[in-house]
């Protein structure tokens, strides 16, 4: 920040104390030294060094008074915005908070069949100790937390959704706020319905009125699909293209879920009756960068999120807010240093007259 900008950003918490600033003239008017009797000072030669030092000490006294008053007035530098350039993206996280996300995280199996005995899915599905099995929502939040912690240059926004979306966090690069927003998604229990189309439209609204400065991502984390009306599909397609957003869908596959791909031999019409398959086909045809990941267990979910982290790491320009800073302690430090200097000069002056 320039000197002019710094001066314009100065504020006062208690400006009434500034009425005492004229007191700084007192040391310039009188130096406070005791008068001493001499026979005739005219006999002494001129000492310009002593005269200069005498006035410097007066200025130091005025500085001490001014710094003390400024400190009492609560001087601070107001918050301001700066432009930064980093490697990363603007990421909107849409986290499914429907009731199904509160179910235990178990791997999927082929259609109509239980997991094969001896597989990881079978052990997860038949885990005797429920305390050792995490829910899909818990696993998703844990991996999202690690994902955000490893991408310090990104700006994150977040919304949770079931029937309706709820905005949790606007774009920020503050790690504490991002982690708190992810943790907040665990509060309460989810609802029974899931409206992914409304959630996506809400997620895209985060980019409204924002300049395009780099990679933009909508990261959808959900365990279900949706059938979307043609009008809404067109609105989503237009918004995705207009905002130049890359869409990533981490589909948390549940037990006996059909998955995102149609079964062999299914016609397109029959495949579209499955919400997950329909949604995947629509995203792929929207004309915007799109990737889908099927996460059958916490390990697969972790691999999917790590892949997203590797794919989107382009230069990004963004504006950051530098928080307000209290400067009164600096003013008190200047006042203390000036007073100590005056005390030292007075102590040396007394020693010279002994």
What is the model's pLDDT at position 210? 85
Report yes or no on 37 lying in a domain. no
**pLDDT tens sequence across 137-148:** 888 888 888 888
* Pair (195, 232) in one structural domain: yes
| Greater model confidence, 205 or 186 | 205
> Greatest CA span in the chain, whole angstroms?
122
CA distance 209 to 218: 17
User: Which tokens belong to 8?
Assistant: 């314009």
Q: Domain range spanning residue 244?
A: 82-104+134-320
CA distance 248 to 326: 43
Number of compact structural domains in the chain: 2
Report yes or no on 274 lying in a domain. yes
Report yes or no on 41 lying in a domain. no
What is the model's pLDDT at position 189? 63
**pLDDT tens sequence across 156-171:** 999 998 888 889 999 8
Distance of CA 254 to the CA centre of its chain: 32
Q: Is 193 exposed, middle or buried (0-12, 13-18, 19+ CB in 10 A)?
A: exposed
CA distance 129 to 57: 79
CA distance 116 to 82: 57
Read off the pLDDT of each residue in 186-207 and give the average, rounded to a whole number.
Answer: 81
CA distance 166 to 143: 21
Lowest mean pLDDT among 42-51, 329-338, 345-354: 345-354
What is the model's pLDDT at position 115? 47
* Pair (96, 163) in one structural domain: yes
Report yes or no on 110 lying in a domain. no
Best CA proximity match to 254, nearest among 103, 129, 126: 103
* Pair (96, 72) in one structural domain: no
pLDDT value at 316 more than 90: no
- What is the share, in percent, of the chain residues with pLDDT greater than 90? 21
| Greater model confidence, 119 or 52 | 52
The torsion angles phi and psi of 314, rounded to 5 degrees, stand at: -100, 165
pLDDT value at 8 more than 80: no
Report yes or no on 113 lying in a domain. no
pLDDT value at 124 more than 50: no
**C-alpha atoms less than 13 angstroms from C-alpha of 174 in its C-beta half-sphere:** 12
The answer to whether the predicted template modeling score (pTM) of the entire model surpasses 0.75 is no
**pLDDT tens sequence across 278-305:** 888 889 888 888 988 887 766 777 777 7
CA distance 95 to 220: 6
Residue-wise DSSP of 8-37: HTEEESSGGGGGGGGGGGHHHH---PPP--
Lowest mean pLDDT among 153-162, 221-230, 231-240, 256-265: 256-265
User: Which tokens belong to 219?
Assistant: 């990261």
What is the model's pLDDT at position 206? 93
pLDDT value at 347 more than 90: no
* Pair (289, 347) in one structural domain: no
Q: Is 281 exposed, middle or buried (0-12, 13-18, 19+ CB in 10 A)?
A: middle
Decide the pairing of beta strands 165-172 and 75-77: unpaired
**pLDDT tens sequence across 37-61:** 555 656 666 667 777 888 888 899 9
Q: For residue 101, how many other CB atoms are within 10 A of its CB?
A: 28
What is the model's pLDDT at position 125? 44
**pLDDT tens sequence across 93-116:** 999 888 778 776 554 444 444 444
User: Which tokens belong to 101?
Assistant: 């996300």
What is the model's pLDDT at position 32? 53
CA distance 172 to 156: 6
185 dihedral zone (left: phi>0; alpha: psi -120 to 50; beta):
alpha
Q: Is 137 exposed, middle or buried (0-12, 13-18, 19+ CB in 10 A)?
A: buried
Report yes or no on 128 lying in a domain. no
196 dihedral zone (left: phi>0; alpha: psi -120 to 50; beta):
alpha
| Greater model confidence, 311 or 69 | 69
What is the model's pLDDT at position 110? 43
Rg (CA), the chain: 34
* Pair (166, 87) in one structural domain: yes
* Pair (277, 346) in one structural domain: no
| Greater model confidence, 262 or 154 | 154
The torsion angles phi and psi of 81, rounded to 5 degrees, stand at: -100, 145
CATH number (domain holding residue 313):
3.40.50.410
**C-alpha atoms less than 13 angstroms from C-alpha of 181 in its C-beta half-sphere:** 25
CA distance 242 to 288: 10
β-sheet bridge partners, residue 156: 91, 172
Read off the pLDDT of each residue in 195-224 and give the average, rounded to a whole number.
Answer: 88
* Pair (60, 139) in one structural domain: no
Over the chain, what is the mean pLDDT?
77
pLDDT value at 30 more than 70: no
pLDDT value at 219 more than 60: yes
What is the model's pLDDT at position 142? 85
What's 17's DSSP letter? G
* Pair (97, 156) in one structural domain: yes
What is the model's pLDDT at position 52? 82
* Pair (153, 220) in one structural domain: yes
What is the model's pLDDT at position 126? 46
Q: Are 296 and 121 in contact (CB under 8 A)?
A: yes
**pLDDT tens sequence across 59-90:** 999 999 999 999 999 999 888 777 777 667 88
Report yes or no on 227 lying in a domain. yes
* Pair (174, 100) in one structural domain: yes
Decide the pairing of beta strands 246-252 and 10-12: unpaired
* Pair (245, 345) in one structural domain: no
What is the model's pLDDT at position 119? 39
What is the model's pLDDT at position 121? 43
- What is the share, in percent, of the chain residues with pLDDT greater than 70? 72
* Pair (198, 274) in one structural domain: yes
Report yes or no on 70 lying in a domain. yes
User: Reduced to 3 states, what is the DSSP secondary structure of residue 302?
Assistant: helix
What is the model's pLDDT at position 224? 75
């Amino acid at each position: 920040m320039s000197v002019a900008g710094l001066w314009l950003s100065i504020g006062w918490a208690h400006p009434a104390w500034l009425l005492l600033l004229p007191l700084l003239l007192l040391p310039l008017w009188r130096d406070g030294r005791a008068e001493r009797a001499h026979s005739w000072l005219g006999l002494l030669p001129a000492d310009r060094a002593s005269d200069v030092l005498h006035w410097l000490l007066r200025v130091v006294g005025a500085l001490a008074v001014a710094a003390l008053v400024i400190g009492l007035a609560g001087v601070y530098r107001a918050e301001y915005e700066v432009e930064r350039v980093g490697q990363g993206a603007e990421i909107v996280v849409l986290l499914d908070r429907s009731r199904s996300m509160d179910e235990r995280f178990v791997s999927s199996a082929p259609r109509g069949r239980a997991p094969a005995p001896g597989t990881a899915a079978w052990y997860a599905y038949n885990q005797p100790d429920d305390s050792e099995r995490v829910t899909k929502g818990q696993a998703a939040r844990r991996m999202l937390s690690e994902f955000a912690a490893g991408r310090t240059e990104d700006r994150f926004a977040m919304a949770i959704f079931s029937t309706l979306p709820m905005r949790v966090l606007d774009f920020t690069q503050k790690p504490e706020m991002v982690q708190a927003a992810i943790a907040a998604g665990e509060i309460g229990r989810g609802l029974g319905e899931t409206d992914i189309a409304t959630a996506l439209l809400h997620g895209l609204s985060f980019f409204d009125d924002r300049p395009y400065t780099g990679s933009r991502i909508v990261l959808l984390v959900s365990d279900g699909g949706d059938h979307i009306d043609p009008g809404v599909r067109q609105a989503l397609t237009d918004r995705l293209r207009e905002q130049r957003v890359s869409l990533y869908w981490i589909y948390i596959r549940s037990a006996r879920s059909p998955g995102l791909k149609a079964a062999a031999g299914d016609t397109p019409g029959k495949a579209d009756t499955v919400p997950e398959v329909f949604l995947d086909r629509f995203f792929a045809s929207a004309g915007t960068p799109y990737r889908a990941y099927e996460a059958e267990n916490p390990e697969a979910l972790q691999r999917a999120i790590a892949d997203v982290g590797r794919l989107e790491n382009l230069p990004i320009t963004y504006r950051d807010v530098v928080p307000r800073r209290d400067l009164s302690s600096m003013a008190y430090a200047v006042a203390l240093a000036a007073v100590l200097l005056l005390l030292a000069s007075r102590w040396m002056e007394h020693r010279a007259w002994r």
